[in-house]
Chains A and B, each alone.
Chain A
Amino acid sequence: SQTIHQWPATLVQPVGSPLSLECTVEGTSNPNLYWYRQAAGRGLQLLFYSVGIGQISSEVPQNLSASRPQDRQFILSSKKLLLSDSGFYLCAWSVRWRGGPGELFFGEGSRLTVL
């Protein structure tokens, strides 16, 4: 069966420090991968998605970047965090859509607090 893991689960970082959140998927090949951010009490905002190794699409201009060094690894990074980067970050995967639901499967989330 497929599983998705992301870490760390909780992170408290000072403004201006770097960030690295990692996500890995097991039990599937060639998945689509996604990073979403959720502000407190709000919906999910798509930050990045990837349809293959080295292929990253950004949905919103921001202080963050993403990379996909391996087929089932997705990394969210920042060189210098801002207060506004605080939030709950969710990694997700889906199969390549060929009809049917093609639902997204989410990781456990990473809660980032920037102080």
Chain B
Amino acid sequence: AQKITQTQPGMFVQEKEAVTLDCTYDTSDPSYGLFWYKQPSSGEMIFLIYQGSYDQQNATEGRYSLNFQKARKSANLVISASQLGDSAMYFCAMREGRNAGNMLTFGGGTRLMVKP
């Protein structure tokens, strides 16, 4: 079974509007972390935001917020006031447990295209 599922292969959003990128995860471990990364066309992976499984409040970083619904096992990324520079691939990822290797499992990604 997929541990991280991103069901939207591609999304369009109008500049200055908000957009939500979906992510669902699957784990039986009570301790885990959820991450979002941005990958522009250059290929680099840019860390955006993190949510711990025990965090009571949704994480926010500037225009990025994470809508964490633990019971539904979803960790959607919300980008407010979209900018042309937000056009990129976005990946959701999970770290399970307190593994010494600290490995992340990634979803298939969502390509976001911001229209002027």
Contact = CB atoms under 8 A, between A and B. Distances in A.
B44 A104 contact: no
Contacts of B106: 36, 43-45
Contact of A111 (B43, B44, B93, B99): B43
Given A88-B43, A101-B50, A43 B108 contact: yes
Given A90-B45, A97-B98, A109-B43, A104 B104 contact: yes
A102 B100 CA distance: 11
Contacts of B108: 42-43
Please report whether the interface of chain A is mostly helix, strand, loop or mixed according to DSSP: strand
A97 B44 contact: no
Interface centre among B4, B45, B107, B108 (most CB of A within 10 A): B45
Nearest to B102: A97
Nearest to A102: B102
Given A97-B102, A111-B43, A103 B50 contact: yes
Given A41-B109, A101-B33, 6 more contacts: A43-B106, A43-B109, A101-B35, A103-B47, A104-B45, A104-B104
Interface of A: 32, 34, 36, 41-46, 49, 51, 57, 59, 88, 90, 92, 94, 96-97, 100-106, 108-109, 111
